[in-house]
Structure 1
Amino acid sequence: MKPNLAYIFYLTLGLWSAASMAQEPVAPDISAIETLAKETVAKKIQPAPNARVSIIPQTLDNRLVIPRCSSPLTAALASEREISRNNTVRVSCTSPDLDYPWQLYLSVRVSISYPVVVARETLAPGTLLSAAQMAVRYVDQYSVNGEQFDATAQLIGTRLKRRVPKDYPIFGSNICFVCKGDAVSIIARTEKFQIKTVGEATEDGNLGEQIRVKNTRSNKMIEATITKVGEVRVKM
C-alpha cells in the first residue's frame, strides 16, 4: 500500500508550524516583570529576624507595550549602592534573535521596621516603669536611633530620668537600671561560692555599664557592673 503523500505533507507542515510557534518570542507579562524586580531587591536585604520588610515594585501601566523576548529576562540593581528606601532595578532581554537587546527600569520601594518599646502615655521623670505603661510598636529603620529596646520586659523596674511623650520610644538615655542614690545588691561570685551584700549607687547606669558603688557595710567605694535592675556584680 502506497503512503498517503498528502497526509505526510500536511503532518510535516503542522509539526513545522508548531515548532515555529514554540520558538516565536513572546512579550513578557507585566506582572512577571514587577515580580522579578521585587525578587532582585529582596535578595540584597538581610534584615534582623524580628524586622518587618515591605518591598513594593513600581506598578507598570497595562497599556505599556513590552518588546518580545525569547530568553529568560535578567534583572539587576541599576547601581552598586546599598538598598535604600527607593531603588532602581534594570530588567533586560538579551535574546540572540533580537536585532538589539532591550532594557526596562523600575523603581522599587523598600520599608524595613523594627519593634521598639514606646510609652503608652506621657511619663514623668522619676517614674518606675511597669508593663502597663509601655507597648511595642514597629518603627521605620531610619527612625531607630540611639539605644532602644524591643521588649517591655527589658525595662520593667527601670526609672525614667526625663519626660517621655506618649507613643515616643524609650531610649537608653531616658532611663537608668540603677540610679544615683539607689540601694543595690552587690554580688561577688566564683564557681564555688557567692558573696552578697548591699550598697548605694553613686551614679546612674544601665545594663552592662560600670558604676561606682559604696559598700554600705564597709563604706568602701567599689567599681561594679550592672547586671539587672537594682543589682551589680564585682570581680573576685
Structure 2
Amino acid sequence: MRFITGCAVLAIFFSASASANPLIDQLIGVTSTYLEQEVTQYASTLGGEPRHEVQISRLDARLRLPLCAEDALSAQLESPEIPVGRVTVRVTCNGPSPWRLFVPAQVSLYQQVVVSTRPLQRKSVISAQDIRLAERDTGLLGNNYLLDPAQAIGMQMKRNVNADTVLGHAQLEQNRLVQRGDKVVISAGNSSVNVRMPGEALEDGTLGAQIRVRNTRSNRVVRARVTGPGQVEVGM
C-alpha cells in the first residue's frame, strides 16, 4: 500500500468546487460524509442538538493516485479521539492499487458555554450576575470551557479577565475562604459542649479543606477543617 505523508496536504481552507482533480473530489466527499456522520452522532450525546460545521483543508492539486472504487474506500478518525476541532481523517483505498492518505479538517461544534458578563478581577468570587451562557465554537476552546453556570458560581478567579471571556478551569479555582496568616476562630465540640479559641491559619484553605492552624493561646498546631470565612473546626 502506498502511504502518503503530510507533505501531500496543505492546511489552507478552500471551496470544494474549486478542485479539478477527481481524486481530490473523491477525498473531499468521503471525508466530509464521514465527519458529518461522526460529529452528528457525537453531538447527539450532548443534548440540545448543537449545530456544527465541517471544513476540509485543501489537498495538494498535484496529487496523482488512481481513483478508488466506492466499496473499497473507507475513512477513520486518526486524531483526536472526538471529531471536534482540528481533526485528521485517515482515508484508505483497499482496491487493486491500494493507498492511504491523511486528510486534515476543522470541525466546529457550537454550544452554550459560560462567559463573563463584565471584567472580573483576580481573586474575585463568581456570582450569578457575573456570568451568562453564550454560543461559542467549542472546537476552538480545547477543554477549557464550562457548560453549566453552577460550575462557576462560588469559584474564585485566578487572573483578570475581560467581559465576554469564556470561563473554564484555566481561569477558575476553589474560593479560598481562609488564607495563610489569617486570624481564625477554632471551634471544637460535640453535642454537649462547644469551645471556641483564637487561631492563625498556617495554610490557605477552601470550604471543607483540612489545613494547619496554630492555637494562639497554647501555641499548639492542629489540623482543622475550614467551615466558612475565618472559621475552622477540629474534632473532639
Q: TM-score, normalised by structure 2?
A: 0.48
Higher strand content, 1 or 2: 2
Q: TM-score, normalised by structure 1?
A: 0.48
